[in-house]
């Protein structure tokens, strides 16, 4: 709240590894409560304004909504988080169920979130290096025996259950699609049992990833960090490292160039993603984060600034709109 007394200031939290797990547990429930309260106040204000354009009640409700928004961070970043994906999925389910969109650059006076996809920004960001062996290998090894016991005791929910309390379908939400909501209910759809979430961190799970990082590997070719897929792109787009020059079907949201090697990178919306919420998850190239612990380098800092604080080339404003 003290930070937001300055309209130009941003409150940003960053947690690394186990610190990411602690931060997620600390802020997720509080943020969900604040989002719910602000949303209710917004809707009540709109209803009051519709009934009486000069209503003091509408003004009071809008004040409550803005005050509630000022109590939360503008952005929360988890780097190589050590927590299981079961931690993140609770917040993802909440954001999906509410169809929540985070648009900090939309003026507070606007009537609800804009329909423009370019206005959508992340409230949470969870990033992990493809070379992070601590979360990719060590964490699943550590969770193996507890996982066996949870499965044996019937604690984990599974796919294909008729009993609603035992099934583990995944609801998808992407406001950039014509039909924002869908369900993954079978393995053929890509859905997985609750045990799979416990055995992986969230940004390592393709089913939860919202974005992908592309790295230049040729004059007109880029590679997806998480899958190794090769994508042919415009030579001018790579040469100028300009998101506006990429094919629009790639849905590039930002680009950045390493200050030392001058390699061009791009961040795109993951094709056919299930997660289109303001909780962005992705794997990043080892050139940006080489391992589990080497994170706060000049390369990583430039990546954060160019990707999350300069949407469409403009600094992210401090206003929040749910």
In tens, the pLDDT along 115-174 reads 888 889 999 999 999 999 999 999 999 999 999 999 999 899 888 777 766 778 899 999
Residue-level pLDDT at 322: 35
Say which range, 25-39, 182-196, 225-239, has the weakest mean pLDDT: 25-39
For residue 313, what pLDDT is reported?
A: 42
Which residue would you say has higher pLDDT here, 214 or 53? 214
- Give pLDDT, residue 104: 84
Helix, coil or strand: residue 265: strand
Is the pTM higher than 0.85?
yes
Query: Residue range 304-308: average pLDDT?
Result: 90
- Tell me: pLDDT of 68 over 70: no
Say yes or no to pLDDT of 25 above 50: yes
Is residue 83 classed as helix, strand or coil in its secondary structure?
coil
State the Cα–Cα distance between residues 54 and 115, nearest whole angstrom.
27
Q: Which residues of 20-55 are buried (b: 16+ CB within 10 A; e: fewer)?
A: bbebbeebbeebbebbebbeebbebbeebbeeeeee
Between 14 and 163, whose confidence is greater? 14
- Residue 174 has a pLDDT of 97
Residue 237 clears pLDDT 80, i.e. is over it? yes
Mean pLDDT of the chain: 87
């Amino acid at each position: 709240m003290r930070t937001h007394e300055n309209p130009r200031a941003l409150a940003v939290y960053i947690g690394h590894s186990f610190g990411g797990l602690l931060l997620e547990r600390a802020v997720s429930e509080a943020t969900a409560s604040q989002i719910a309260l602000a949303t209710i106040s917004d809707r009540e204000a709109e209803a009051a304004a519709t009934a009486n354009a000069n209503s003091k009640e509408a003004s009071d409700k809008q004040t409550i909504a803005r005050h509630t928004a000022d109590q939360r961070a503008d952005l929360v970043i988890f780097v190589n988080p050590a927590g299981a994906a079961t931690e993140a999925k609770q917040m993802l389910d909440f954001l999906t169920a509410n169809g929540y969109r985070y648009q900090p650059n939309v003026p507070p006076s606007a009537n609800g979130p804009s329909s423009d996809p370019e206005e959508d920004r992340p409230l949470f960001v969870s990033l992990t290096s493809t070379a992070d062996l601590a979360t990719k290998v060590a964490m699943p090894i550590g969770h193996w025996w507890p996982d066996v016991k949870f499965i044996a005791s019937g604690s984990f929910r599974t796919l294909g259950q008729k009993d609603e309390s035992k099934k583990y379908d995944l609801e998808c939400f992407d406001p950039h699609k014509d039909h924002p909501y869908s369900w993954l209910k079978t393995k053929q759809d890509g859905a997985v049992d609750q045990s799979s979430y416990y055995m992986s961190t969230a940004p390592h799970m393709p089913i939860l990833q919202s974005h992908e990082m592309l790295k230049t590997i040729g004059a007109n070719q880029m590679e997806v960090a998480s899958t190794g897929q090769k994508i042919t792109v415009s030579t001018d787009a790579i040469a100028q490292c300009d998101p506006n020059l990429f094919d629009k079907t790639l849905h590039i949201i930002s680009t950045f160039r390493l200050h030392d090697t001058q390699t061009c990178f791009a961040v795109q919306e993951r094709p056919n993603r299930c997660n289109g919420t303001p909780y962005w998850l992705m794997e990043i190239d080892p050139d940006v984060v080489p391992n589990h612990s080497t994170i706060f380098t000049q390369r990583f800092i430039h990546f954060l600034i160019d990707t999350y604080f300069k949407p469409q080339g403009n600094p992210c404003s401090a206003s929040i709109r749910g």
